[in-house]
Amino acid sequence: MRPPKGDVLLAGVQEHAAAFVIGGSSPIAGRGLIVGRRTGPGVRGPARISVDDVVTMVRWTSIKVSPKPPVAMRAIVIDPEQGLIEEVVIAPHKLAIERLLGGEIGPYMRVPGNDHVLTPARRPRSPWYWRKDDLGFSSRCVIVGHDPKTDYFADVFTSVDNLRASVEFRAPEESIWRSYADRKAQADRSPAA
């Protein structure tokens, strides 16, 4: 928006709910400064518009301030091949999750607590399996939280202890499901054998 007489309105991007409209402009959040024309490199003259004119053109309003996404989030990695159920702290974006999965994100399932179980797009040829209650998954998965108000990833709701007590694992071509404690003991013994 350009005020009359060649003056310029300077306003920065700020996250304020308080805003103003000057003339027919869009709402401007935070403060603004009206300065005069450029008189030289990096130099501006005084504003030519009168304060009374500015007062008649300004209307006060408010805008909805979007919440900032979190800087980090807690996620849980479940890897049945390694017998792993661990909490990790990652950046709350798709690339960080893909790094944990070892590839692109494939299908996901929403579970209680507004958590999402994310699976890799490409499955291994001889997958290991893990299950919790009646839900079964193949290969490595990452569980993340989801904030429905902001649509951002969020801290995972479920706990590692809950999962370690209720998740079971099954090796490829086996029919026996093993608890986390049994699978962990088996994984710890495997390298020595």
Render pLDDT for 64-121 as a digit per residue (tens, 0 to 9): 877 777 899 999 999 988 889 999 999 999 999 999 988 899 888 888 888 999 988 8
Nearest to 130, CA basis, from 88, 179, 87, 86:
179
Q: Does residue 67 lie within any of the structural domains?
A: no
Asked whether residue 15 falls in the same domain as residue 98, the answer is no
Rounded to a whole number, what is the largest CA-CA distance in the chain?
87
The letter for the amino acid at 48 is: R
pTM for the full model? 0.66
Map tokens 């399932």 to a residue.
109
Q: Which domain holds residue 21?
A: 4-62
**Same domain as 86, residue 41:** no
